[in-house]
A = this chain, B = another copy of it.
Amino acid sequence: MEGLRGPFDYSEEPPRHPCLRINAKEPFNAEPPRATLISSYVTPVDFFLKRNHGPIPVVDDINSYYVSIGGLVEKPMQMSLADIKKLPKYDVTATLQCAGNRRTAMSKTRTVRGVGWDVCALGNAIWGGAKLSDVLELVGVLKHTAITSLGGKHVEFISVDKCPEENGGPYKASIPLVQATNPAADVLLAYEMNGEVLERDHGYPLRVIVPGVIGARSVKWLDRINIIEEECQGFFMQKDYKMFPPTVDWDNIDWSTRKPQMDFPVQCAICSLEDVDIVKRGEVTLGGYALSGGGRGIERVDISVDGGKTWVEAFRYQKSNVPYISTDISSDKWAWVFFKAVVDIPGDAEIIAKAVDSSANVQPEKVELIWNLRGILNTSWHCVCVQAVP
């Protein structure tokens, strides 16, 4: 690859918005403030979660950039950005959530390893690009294929960045071929974000978007796509982003006992308040987001201002103030749902939000029960304590 290069150090990082909360500088990992996150349904690029595992790649010459598609296929090929752009373009509104979202709160009960994140390690964007299912047809893999004639069952995405966890090698991940070749799964090779050319922090010139799946599988700065027999053996598939029970810690872990996490469970968070906030007694408008994996919708968001004794249902919406209906054709299937509730806060209060998805799955009450050594998928009830002043 001549056009795109993964630097060895952090001397060529792009500029970032000063409002971001930086959780790690090198590699750069940052999230927006809570109130900023819910100020718009489509997250502005500046405020979209930055999640990296190495220095940000550099495009030296966009005209010599291409992505190689090979492995267990009949007709391996290379595609330039212009080739990709010749395919039908789709705009898919999809929320990407880092599996480590809300890790800091999980760490409070027992320390976990990983970048600390508050509740804003996610963002919702309109991704523009070609469908992976269309791209794979060009190398001879038809739509709705679960296994190729050569035995390929997974699609591996390889970046050009240099990750310490891969001993300086690139970030990589895979998804099942049957998902990649299903047009309805909306897996994209994206070159646009919110109608603009992708920014470097978000994978310029080309990245993968896998809707409904933890962010870790949406590989940025795409170098190669390989059709492979077994799932990708990279670090971030096999030794990270797996869900272990609370009984497993670093002294007794056997990574091979779990599958790489793909889909994710129902989640929500209040974003109109910080963790400890002072509010004026009386009516307070609460706002936040809810989402679930696998394209499942949000059936309900429940709010309590008395520590869980009583609950009221919040109003849900995507486009401003249009009531959200989970299975409706007007809803964005892969995107988060915002919620809003006007509540009365007579004094100091513990405010809780919990969501129910369209499969009737609920969030666990206590973080202790889903604690895991890597601190992923903290979807326990979100609590915010407020002091109420006259």
Shortest C-beta distance, A373 to chain B (Å), equals 14
Task: Compute how far the CA of A359 lies from the CA of B295 in the bound complex, rounded to whole angstroms.
Answer: 11
Task: Compute how far the CA of A300 lies from the CA of B372 in the bound complex, rounded to whole angstroms.
Answer: 14
Is the pair B300, A265 in contact by a Cβ cutoff of 8 Å?
A: no
Q: Is A160 an interface residue (CB 8 A)?
A: no
Shortest C-beta distance, A188 to chain B (Å), equals 18
Q: How many of chain A's residues touch chain B, expressed as a range?
A: 35 or more
Per-position contact with B for A363-374: 1 when CB-CB < 8 Å, else 0?
A: 011100110000
Quick one: which of B243, B246, B327, B364 contacts A176, CB cutoff 8 A? Answer: B327
A182, A325, A362 pick with most chain B CB within 10 angstroms: A362
Is the pair B263, A359 in contact by a Cβ cutoff of 8 Å?
A: yes
Is the pair B299, A259 in contact by a Cβ cutoff of 8 Å?
A: yes
Is the pair B265, A358 in contact by a Cβ cutoff of 8 Å?
A: no
Task: Compute how far the CA of A364 lies from the CA of B358 in the bound complex, rounded to whole angstroms.
Answer: 16
Q: Is A360 an interface residue (CB 8 A)?
A: yes
Is the pair A327, B259 in contact by a Cβ cutoff of 8 Å?
A: yes
Is the pair B361, A265 in contact by a Cβ cutoff of 8 Å?
A: yes
Shortest C-beta distance, A55 to chain B (Å), equals 31
Q: Is A245 an interface residue (CB 8 A)?
A: yes
Task: Compute how far the CA of A359 lies from the CA of B264 in the bound complex, rounded to whole angstroms.
Answer: 5
Across-interface contacts of A294 in B (CB, < 8 A): 294, 296, 359
Is the pair A325, B259 in contact by a Cβ cutoff of 8 Å?
A: yes
Is the pair A358, B299 in contact by a Cβ cutoff of 8 Å?
A: no
Across-interface contacts of A265 in B (CB, < 8 A): 359-362
Q: Is A11 an interface residue (CB 8 A)?
A: no
Shortest C-beta distance, A99 to chain B (Å), equals 9
Across-interface contacts of A311 in B (CB, < 8 A): 245-247
Quick one: which of B263, B359, B362 contacts A358, CB cutoff 8 A? Answer: B263
